[in-house]
Amino acid sequence: MKKVLVLGASGGMGYSIVKELCERGIAVIAFARTKEKLEKLFGAEPNVTIITGDIFRVEDLQAAARGVEVIFQAANIPYADWEGKLAAFMTNIVHAAKEQSAKLAIVDNIYAYGRSPDKKVDEAALKQPHTKKGKLRLQVETIVKESNVPALIAHFPDFYGPNAESTILNYTLQSIVQNKKASFVGNQKIAREFIFTPDGAKAIVNLALREEAYGQNWNIPGAGVITGEEMVQTLRGITKYDKRVSTITKGMIRFLGLFNANMREVVEMLYLTEEPVVLSGEKYERIIGKLPRTSYEEGLRQTIAYMKAQQ
The DSSP secondary structure of 3-49, one letter per residue, reads EEEEETTTSHHHHHHHHHHHHTT-EEEEEES-HHHHHHHHTT-TTEE
pLDDT given for residue 264 in this prediction: 75
Residue 195 has pLDDT above 90, yes or no: yes
Mean pLDDT of the 63-75 span: 97
pLDDT given for residue 104 in this prediction: 98
**Which of residues 144 and 79 earns the better pLDDT score?**
144
Mean pLDDT of the 90-96 span: 95
Mean pLDDT of the 1-20 span: 96
Confidence of residue 10 (pLDDT cuts 50, 70, 90): very high
pLDDT given for residue 261 in this prediction: 67
Helix 132-146 to helix 82-100 angle, to the nearest 10 degrees? 20
Residue 36 has pLDDT above 80, yes or no: yes
Q: Count of CB atoms within 10 A of residue 9's CB? A: 27
Residue 258 has pLDDT above 70, yes or no: no
pLDDT given for residue 253 in this prediction: 78
Mean pLDDT of the 234-252 span: 92
pLDDT given for residue 267 in this prediction: 79
Question: Rounded to whole angstroms, how far apart are CA atoms 155 and 132?
Answer: 18
pLDDT given for residue 255 in this prediction: 64
Give tens-digit pLDDT for 111-164.
999 988 778 999 999 999 999 999 999 999 999 999 999 999 999 999 999 999
- The radius of gyration of the chain from alpha carbons, rounded to an integer in Å, stands at 19
Answer yes or no: pTM beyond 0.75. Answer: yes
Residue 311 has pLDDT above 90, yes or no: no
* Domains of the chain with bracketed CATH: 3-163+195-222+277-293 (3.40.50.720)
Which percentage of the chain shows pLDDT scores above 90?
Answer: 85
